[in-house]
Chain A
């Protein structure tokens, strides 16, 4: 299809039948992608669809297991990012990689500074002239002598683009370039992109934002679960079709959450705000309920969870626990209110990996296991730990095993055990099954359902739509720091969620 729709010239870059597996995951399964000179080709798909992996292969960060890459029709291998650069392939990451204390010109020419005086001294003047020349071509007014740290994010991004152009990039990959920009900055970026197009540069544009695709892209390729779905012209494909393609897996006979929790409201959040990351978030959570938080990466779900847990400060907003307004300013305040947060990054934020299963399970409750508030009662600690190891079926040779030696699923169970032992009844799970294999996933799901049935109130943040639909009684969807809608878990569809998750600047809540 792509061949039919594309301009009748040779593609700049062409990837076909690309395969890539990681231990336990088939990240890319026979994926194809092509890019013509002077076009903007949007690459879309849910989190984990394989977009980043595909681009990492094109830029030499990963090596493909199979398939081929052609640049200007010639077959190439891209063993490392340096080779990609010399082939004219550059990427602008979502997180910029600039050195704030250096000037714009120094950043652009880092590692290949023009020299003078027998190659001993850096020729600053030539660097500044070179940078100014690139900006002139981009029709951008940035003084190459400015320190990068003084520039706005939008202008730093333009510096990154200039840096790419200084390498004579013809394939420019932009990973969600507008996520930190305001309207005017976005317009400016688009005019720069239009200009690049007219110079024959091809742009791969990774985004979740439908309106941008309409505005800037010529073609759209959709990926899903590591597979190539289709490539369509951007202008005359309805957004609903694209969303359909992104989530198109069949979940008709999928198991859904049963019941709907009680009417007993355990947690109520009103008007939570934190900078531009959390905007006026309000919701409530009931006893025995699983509330799913859906949204794309960066929508602000984790930030909301951390704010409720007191891990990050908030600008405004009220948190009511069991009907009472509470000030939660630190995780220990939150835990005292029975709120637990289980981070997606268990190794850094959930477990003390160098400590034993016993110590990790009991950690939040140590004070309870002391004689005279001083001496640890190790016997009781062991007893309690063993009890929860049994209850949650943690597979470990003993409670003295260091937790770093456990599998992901069992580590997650240890973290859950920690909070159950601490008597927390509001459990916030952030990506509860990340890094956990398929079999253990089902077990974690059953565990969460069991906990809800016992009357715990549970929030599940997940980027996997099937997971959200499988577990949630109710689903809150977030986009750009706002809750853009709430759905009934029994009837919600992937399409509905995706539509809400990409709904920008709606006067929600």
Chain B
């Protein structure tokens, strides 16, 4: 499961983390699909690689959970685009997911990093 990537290579996303990333991205304000993809790539300094197509099923799922809302608007370069916005429930979900993620990564890190406890006989 763990990515066998080396530094400098782009990383495939862990399953389930895309939802979290989208929600987190939308905290900054309404954004369209392309914007979200670019934002994630940019913010991770191009380490996280997103297949743009995979964004849309995830957005649909989040819509149906009621965590985000969508409405049509105009993008900066005058193009009609669908903007996604975080809902109250989405904000709550983000908080919950965020803390879950932190506990998860912490736990994984503990196992990978040799700890004091492990070195004891």
A, B bound: no
Binding site for A on B (CB under 8 A): none
Binding site for B on A (CB under 8 A): none
